[in-house]
Structure 1
Amino acid sequence: MKHLPDELLLHIISYLEPAELVNLQHVSRHFLNLSRDDNLWKSLSFSHSVTERRRRRLASAVDIDPRLAELIRAADNLANTFDTSVHDPHAPSAEVQQARNRDKRKQVLIANWDPSYPKEKVNWYQEFIHRHADQKLSWFQDAGSEGRDEEEVRREATGAGILFDQDGLADKLVAPMDDGSISIWDAGASSDRQGRLLAKSEVGLLPNKGSDLDLDTRISQSQAIMTETGVVECVSIDSQLNKGFFAVQNVLNEVDLHTLKVVSRTPYPFPITALSEAHHRTPLTVGTNWTVHLHDTRKPPLAPSSVRCELIGGATDTSFSRLETGDFGGHVSLSQPGALSILHLPTTREWDGNGDIWVGGRFTSMLNFDRRFFPRLRGTVHSGARLSCMTAIPYAFVPHDLRLGRPYSSPAQLREAKSLPGHTLITAGEYKGKGSLELYGLSAEPTRSINSSDSRTTRNQKACYQNRQTASSSKLLSVAPHGTRIVFSDGDGNLKWVERDGSTPVRQFNINDLQRPSHGATTNSSISQNQHNGPHGWGDIVQKILPTTSPSLLTPVSPDSSPSSLTQNNLILWTGDGKLGMLGFGAEAPFDVDEFEDALEEQGDGTGSNNGGEKVREKEYSAEMRRALELQARELRWLRGYGL
């Protein structure tokens, strides 16, 4: 077969199943390259997608509703796009023509499904793995895990941020801890120390509890301060300057990550609730309960007396035309509290620091600012939902009318819509008690954008989509782009992936069902089985999703990359229990720090059996008590729904 042309070999191996294609990669380097062909894996991703499986199921159903069957036939034959018949079935070339028509039909179906954009480089082999391979979860060392000694106290992470290398890939994971310290872990996919703790600052660094206090007092006071507000967007990392910004109550701490020393502390008039992405040459946007500020790291911090402001009376009007009540010292004062997420829209003009700022939170409209004219409000977009998280992808929004199923669209129309420059704003939050996933088009083309110059209420209905039906039965907590998909988490512990249309499901799982059994522990009940699933407890949630590729990295790994580089697009998760984990896809977990820790424990523990049994019983009791309390809370919420 080595003498056959590559085109013929590709046609032959296209009949293999994905598992067989993976085994074929081990034959030779030549077959490795052929088995990683982008078009081959794109076709496989399409044939295994929910969209295509649903279409085949409806087409083959014998007891389908006649009216629905008529609609399917009408869509398939729309403008003869899917007509596979031939003019003369008895002609010598009829069979060849029929095969060509079937290929043409498949190409049109793939074009309607294709979530990628014309200038986007997608590794479809990696995409297939992320869509269908088993998910594996690894926990970072000592991040919220139970202490191995009785004297060791459990430390929780109160936030998380990623330090990217010069290629835009995750290098270090940085997190503030509940004792006021800062911990740094190795997060590099090519590092043999991935998941290990690299450095830790002194206790009480962030809340400014120094050595004049004894250790126990420092820890107790720091823990009270660090866990008081529970802010999610409280960490922002500047990868170019190697600095971290940590919000603690109303103080913004600027920390040099080389030395783990505080460079400056900037007080604000109210508790800080959100930080934007930190990027060199661009001022950091800081949101508090009642204000929005621009923080320029090049300027020295102001004296505490100069940043004081006062809200007199308060606004009783719920109209969002009065969200900006004035400029008090260069910042915006809000009439309604709770900025929870701040997004800097990506721009190609990073040298001048200009660009759009979007602010969302407990209020039901998104605020839009132009940094050049800050603090003047550029406009607002009414959502109706209370937003928890905002992100964006640097590609134009494709209207739902052009998506597959409403009805089938021509590839030319889709190609035209995807070729327009622009961004898609993605938000996640809560609407009337249920999860809300929303997409908004931002483009220079007025018909494809929600923007309107100096408008506060205009929204183009054809340039947005709101999924408030199938997203989740509980509030959405975080959202992030992941390859050609969108991933979000909800209040029930679920992680869900959908296509870029915001509604077509790809896969999902619950973090409470994805924990690895601990080593050497025998379980005889469902309670102990649940408790021994790694360092994770019962009923956890994912409150922040961090992709391991920088949002500014628009060119992913190439299709002929080595297998190790395929792990660069994993996800780092920060859970509600203060744990930090990395979610990978494939046969092996991203890393395993338990083996290293267990080996050290076996070397240093001479009486392991008795102590181990006692710890197992303690964990079983803790798990049972927590489960009982959460079941009671669930019953109370259910009774509250009946007015009791």
Structure 2
Amino acid sequence: MKHLPDELVLHIIAYLEPAELVNLQHVSRHFLNLSRDNNLWKSLCFSHSAAERRRRRLELSTDIDPRLAELIRAADTLSNTFDTSVHDASAPSAEAQRERNRDKRKQALIANWDPSYPDEKVNWYQDFIQRHAEQKISWFQEAGSEDCEQGNRRREATGAGILFDSDGLADKLVAPLDDGSISIWDASASSERQGSLVAKSDIGLLSGKGSDLDHYTRLTQSQAIMTETGAVECVSIESKLNKGFFAVQNVLNEVDLNTLQLVSRTPYPFPITALSEAHHRTPLTVGTNWTLHLHDTRKPPQPPSSVRCELIGGSTDTSFSRLETGDFGGHVALSQPGALSILHLPTTRDWDGNGDIWVGGRFTSMLNFDRRCFPRLRGTVHSGARLSCITAIPHPFIPQDLRLGRPYASPALLREAKSMPGYTMITAGEYKGKGSLELYGLSSEPSRAINSSDSRTTRNPNAYYQNRQTVSSSKLLSVAPHGTRLVFADGDGNIKWVERDGSTAVRHFNLNDFQPRSSSSSSNQRSQLVNPNPGANSEPWGDMVQKILPTVHLSSPRAPSAPAAPSADGASSLGLEDLVLWTGDGKLGLVGFGRESLFPLERDLFVDALEEQRDRDGDQVKEREYGAEMRRALEVQARELRWLRGYGL
């Protein structure tokens, strides 16, 4: 076959299954390059997608009610739009014409399914791995583990942020711990020490408890301070300047990550609940329970007396048409508490959409601000859901009618919609006790964008989509873009991937299925040494993911990864788009696909059976059992509340 042209070889190997294509890569360098063909794997991603599998099942189904089958096929308008028949079946060219029609139909189906955009470069081989390969979780060293030097007390991470390199790839994972210190782990996919702890600051650095106190007092007081507020978006990393911003109660700490020394402390009038992404060109947006502020790192911190303020008799009106904002010392006062997530849209764009800052939280509307006119409110967009997380992808929103292929719609309309400049804002939260995943279009084209107004909210039905039926039965806690898909986590510990339409399921798993159970057998203990789990000595306690952090920055040219030719040893840029998880139990994990061990450095664990027995019978186990019982009681109460809401109570 080495004398055949590449086009003919590609046509032959296109009939192979994915597992056979992977084996073919080991034959020679020539077959390695051919079997990584991007169009070939794009076709495989389509043929193995949920939408295509459903369509094929409908075509082959013969045992269902004919009237029901006709109704289902009528709903799948795209498959009925393209006719593969020929006018004259007896003509000599009928078979060739029928084959050309089938190819046209397949290309049209692929174009309708294609989640990518014209200016987007996708490595479809890696995309197929992320869609179908087995997921693996490895846990970062010492995060959420028990410290023997501190009386077997669990060291829990109270937040997480990623320090990216110049290529936009994860280099370090930075997290504050409940003892008031800051830990830094190696998060580079090309490093042999990935997952290991590389630096740690002194205890009490963030909590303000210095060496003037004894160790036990400093530890207990720091733990009480670090775990009081419980904000999720409490860490923001500035990768250009190697700085980190950490919110602890009502104080914003600026830390130099090179030396792990405190640069400044800025107090705010109320506990900080959200931080925006840090960027050296724009001020940091700080959200507290009742206010919003712009924090400019170039200005020296003001004394506490100049920022101290008090809200008396706040408005009890739930209507967002009366959100009062104004210049109260350069900050925004909110009529309702709870800003939980702040999104900064990129400022380097050739169009001015609906502002630079979006704020969501426990209130049911998103607040829109223009940084140039801050603190004046530019407008609001009513969602109805209480949002936990807001993010965006630098691609325009595609209406559902174009994605589903409405009858007689031209494929040119889909290409035109994808070619428009714009962003898609993605939100995750809770609506009437169930999960809510929402997409909003931000574009220079009025017909494809939501509009925010100071007096009254106006929305375009072709510029947003809200999925509150099939996402989750519990609240969504975090959402992030992952390649050509969206990934989100809910309160039950589930991590789910959907297509960019926000509804088509791709894959899912539960975090608690990856919590190893303790066992007295040495074989089970040895199996846990490959990817050691900080909680390996305890049963799963219903953990959940509070925050999802992609290891590739959206501004990186590798987001999503462009097709890369394999190197001399057969390696390429695979395995870069992983996900960092911060769980409710204070653990930090890395989710990857198709590899036996995400962390190349194997760490030795020495397990003492007597210490295991003591831990099982000790106070820590009793505390965890009590926490598990309380969680189950709260879940029962939440189900009862949802049941009562169904009757209007």
TM-score of the alignment, normalized to the shorter chain, above 0.5: yes
Q: 1:641/1:402 Cα in 2 relative to 1: closer, same or farther (>3 Å)?
A: closer
Identify which of 587, 596, 601 aligns with 2:595: 587
Give distance in 1, aligned partners of 2:306 and 2:621: 54
Q: Over residues 377-419 of structure 1, what are the superposed CA-to-partner deviations in whole Å (9 max), with x where a residue is unaligned?
A: 1110000000000000000000001112645743211101111
Report the counterpart of residue 238 of structure 1 in structure 2: 238
Determine if the alignment matches structure 1 residue 320 to structure 2 residue 320: yes
Identify which of 556, 560, 563 aligns with 2:564: 560
Q: Is the 8 A contact 1:190 1:564 kept in 2?
A: no
Determine if the alignment matches structure 1 residue 288 to structure 2 residue 288: yes
Report the counterpart of residue 572 of structure 1 in structure 2: 580
Q: Over residues 261-308 of structure 1, what are the superposed CA-to-partner deviations in whole Å (9 max), with x where a residue is unaligned?
A: 110100111110000000111100000011101000001111111112
Give distance in 2, aligned partners of 1:33 and 1:568: 20
Give distance in 1, aligned partners of 2:142 and 2:364: 38
Q: Secondary structure at the match of 1:597?
A: coil
Determine if the alignment matches structure 1 residue 229 to structure 2 residue 238: no
Q: Is the 8 A contact 1:390 1:425 kept in 2?
A: yes
Report the counterpart of residue 123 of structure 1 in structure 2: 123
Report the counterpart of residue 8 of structure 1 in structure 2: 8
Q: Secondary structure at the match of 2:44?
A: helix
Q: Secondary structure at the match of 1:175?
A: strand
What runs of 5+ residues in structure 1 fail to find an aligned partner? 603-607
Report the counterpart of residue 603 of structure 2 in structure 1: 596
Q: Secondary structure at the match of 1:596?
A: coil
Determine if the alignment matches structure 1 residue 547 to structure 2 residue 550: yes
Q: Is the 8 A contact 2:488 2:495 kept in 1?
A: yes
What runs of 5+ residues in structure 2 fail to find an aligned partner? none
Q: Is the 8 A contact 1:355 1:372 kept in 2?
A: no
Give distance in 2, aligned partners of 1:85 and 1:77: 17
Q: Is the 8 A contact 1:347 1:355 kept in 2?
A: no
Q: Secondary structure at the match of 2:592?
A: strand
Greater CA deviation, 134-143 or 553-562? 553-562
Equivalent residues in 2 for 1:460-479 (5 A)?
Answer: 460-479=460-479
Give distance in 2, aligned partners of 1:464 and 1:640: 29
Q: Secondary structure at the match of 1:255?
A: strand
Q: Over residues 333-374 of structure 1, what are the superposed CA-to-partner deviations in whole Å (9 max), with x where a residue is unaligned?
A: 111111000000123259x9x961000001100000111111
Equivalent residues in 2 for 1:587-626 (5 A)?
Answer: 587-591=595-599, 595-598=602-605, 601=606, 608-612=608-612, 614-615=614-615
RMSD: 2.7
Aligned length: 630
Give distance in 2, aligned partners of 1:259 and 1:446: 48
Give distance in 2, aligned partners of 1:568 and 1:531: 24
Tell me which amino acid in the other structure corresponds to 2:478.
Answer: S
Q: Over residues 416-443 of structure 1, what are the superposed CA-to-partner deviations in whole Å (9 max), with x where a residue is unaligned?
A: 1111110000000000000000000000
Q: Is the 8 A contact 1:403 1:409 kept in 2?
A: no
Give distance in 1, aligned partners of 2:78 and 2:631: 53
Q: Is the 8 A contact 1:379 1:455 kept in 2?
A: yes
Report the counterpart of residue 420 of structure 2 in structure 1: 420
Report the counterpart of residue 497 of structure 2 in structure 1: 497
| TM-fit CA distance, 1:316 | 2.4
Greater CA deviation, 289-298 or 313-322? 313-322
Q: 1:30/1:492 Cα in 2 relative to 1: closer, same or farther (>3 Å)?
A: same
Q: 1:555/1:451 Cα in 2 relative to 1: closer, same or farther (>3 Å)?
A: farther
Q: Secondary structure at the match of 1:435?
A: strand
| TM-fit CA distance, 1:313 | 1.6
Q: Is the 8 A contact 2:487 2:498 kept in 1?
A: yes
TM score, norm. by length of structure 1: 0.92
| TM-fit CA distance, 1:631 | 3.9
Report the counterpart of residue 28 of structure 1 in structure 2: 28
Equivalent residues in 2 for 1:430-449 (5 A)?
Answer: 430-449=430-449
Greater CA deviation, 183-192 or 308-317? 308-317
Tell me which amino acid in the other structure corresponds to 2:325.
Answer: T
Q: Is the 8 A contact 2:193 2:600 kept in 1?
A: no
Report the counterpart of residue 110 of structure 2 in structure 1: 110
Q: Is the 8 A contact 2:545 2:584 kept in 1?
A: yes
Q: Is the 8 A contact 2:157 2:587 kept in 1?
A: yes
Equivalent residues in 2 for 1:179-258 (5 A)?
Answer: 179-258=179-258
Report the counterpart of residue 377 of structure 2 in structure 1: 377
Determine if the alignment matches structure 1 residue 483 to structure 2 residue 493: no
Tell me which amino acid in the other structure corresponds to 2:574.
Answer: L
| TM-fit CA distance, 1:566 | 1.1
Report the counterpart of residue 60 of structure 1 in structure 2: 60
Give distance in 2, aligned partners of 1:298 and 1:137: 40
TM score, norm. by length of structure 2: 0.91
Q: 1:371/1:188 Cα in 2 relative to 1: closer, same or farther (>3 Å)?
A: same
Q: Is the 8 A contact 1:478 1:490 kept in 2?
A: yes
Q: Secondary structure at the match of 1:427?
A: strand
Q: Is the 8 A contact 1:518 1:532 kept in 2?
A: no
Report the counterpart of residue 142 of structure 1 in structure 2: 142
Equivalent residues in 2 for 1:233-382 (5 A)?
Answer: 233-348=233-348, 356-382=356-382
Give distance in 2, aligned partners of 1:208 and 1:372: 34
| TM-fit CA distance, 1:74 | 4.9
Q: Over residues 54-79 of structure 1, what are the superposed CA-to-partner deviations in whole Å (9 max), with x where a residue is unaligned?
A: 11112211133434433455577879
Greater CA deviation, 159-168 or 67-76? 67-76
Q: Secondary structure at the match of 2:576?
A: helix
Tell me which amino acid in the other structure corresponds to 1:538.
Answer: W
| TM-fit CA distance, 1:207 | 1.1
Determine if the alignment matches structure 1 residue 162 to structure 2 residue 165: no
% identical aligned pairs: 74
Tell me which amino acid in the other structure corresponds to 2:587.
Answer: K
| TM-fit CA distance, 1:28 | 1.2
| TM-fit CA distance, 1:4 | 0.6
